[in-house]
Amino acid sequence: MSYIGAIGKYFIMVRETFKKPTKWRIMKSLILKEIDELIFGSMGIIIFISFFIGGVVTIQTALNLNNPLIPKSLIGFATRQSVILEFAPTFTSIIMAGKVGSYITSSIGTMRVTEQIDALEVMGVNSLNYLVFPKIIAMLVYPFAVAIAMYIGILGGWVAAVFGGYAPSGAFVEGLQIDFIPFHITYAFIKTLIFAFVIATVPSFHGYFMKGGALEVGKASTTAFVWTSVVIIVLNYVLTQMMLG
C-alpha cells in the first residue's frame, strides 16, 4: 500500500470511529478499562524515566556551566525549560508509543487474527467505535500523566543538583522561577493532547488492518511503534514552529 493510500485509509478509519456509537452502558466500562491499562498501567515507567531524565539534564547543564561568573540559578532554569518544553511531553510520548502503542496494536491485531472483529461486525457493532473510541477517550487523561512527569523531572533535577553538589537548593529553586512563561505549560499540554490522539489511533490502524497470522502481529507492533514515533517527532517540529516560532 502506498503511503498516500495508507494516510487516506487512516483518516477514513478515524471518521468511521465516531459513527454508530456503542451504548453508553457498555462504552463506560470499556473507557474505564482502557484508562486503567493505558494510563495507570504506565505511570510507573513514566515516573521512573522522568526522575532520571531530570537528573541527567541537570548534571549535563551544570557541567557545561562551569564558569564561576555564571550564576548557579541557570541550572534550575535550564532544567525547567528542558523538562517542561520537551522531555516531559515529547520524550514521554515516545516511551508511551512503545509501551502503549505495542499493546494496542497487538491486542487489536490478535482480535483480527482470531476473527473477533469479524464477529463484532456480524453482530451489527461498529468495531472501530467499540475498539478505538475508548482508547481515544482514555488517552485524554494522558496530560495528567505528563503533568506528573514534569513535576517528577524537576524533582529529579533538584535531587541531582543538591545532593550532587552542582547547585545549592535555593539557587536551583530561584532558577525555576526565573522568566517563567505560563504559555509554555499550555504549549506542552496542547502537544500532549495531539500526541495522545496519535498514540491511540496510529497503533489501532496498524492492528485493525493487519493481515496474516500470529507472526504478523509482532511485525505490526514494531511497524506501529516506528510510525507513531515518526509522526510524533514531525508533529513536534510543526507545533513548535507554529506556537513558539
User: In this predicted model, what pLDDT tens digit does every residue of 112-141 receive, in sequence order?
Assistant: 888 888 888 888 888 888 999 999 999 999
What is the rounded average pLDDT for all residues in the chain? 89
Cα(135)–Cα(138) distance, integer angstroms: 5
Nearest to 127 by CA among 13, 9, 244, 2: 13
Cα(196)–Cα(83) distance, integer angstroms: 18
| Per-residue confidence band for 1, with pLDDT thresholds at 50, 70 and 90 | low
pLDDT at residue 235 tops 90:
yes
Share of the chain above pLDDT 70, in %: 100
Note the pLDDT tens digit of each residue in 203-213.
999 988 888 77
* Total domains present in the chain: 1
Note the pLDDT tens digit of each residue in 145-196.
999 999 999 999 999 998 988 888 888 899 888 888 889 999 999 999 999 9
Look up residue 143 and give its three cell numbers: 496530560
Look up residue 98 and give its three cell numbers: 512503545
Q: How far is CA 196 from CA 20, 63, 84, 143, 179, in A?
A: 23, 34, 17, 8, 29
Calculate Rg over the CA atoms of the chain.
21
- The per-residue pLDDT for 63 is 87
- The per-residue pLDDT for 83 is 92
Cα(224)–Cα(230) distance, integer angstroms: 10
φ and ψ of 78, to 5 deg: -65, -40
Residue 39 DSSP code = I
Nearest to 71 by CA among 58, 79, 80, 62: 62
Query: Range of 189's domain?
Result: 3-243
Look up residue 78 and give its three cell numbers: 535550564
| Per-residue confidence band for 245, with pLDDT thresholds at 50, 70 and 90 | confident
For residues 155 and 169, the answer to whether their CB atoms sit within 8 Å is: no
- The per-residue pLDDT for 33 is 92
- The per-residue pLDDT for 21 is 85
Q: When comparing pLDDT for 1 and 215, which is higher? A: 215
Q: Is 159 exposed, middle or buried (0-12, 13-18, 19+ CB in 10 A)?
A: middle
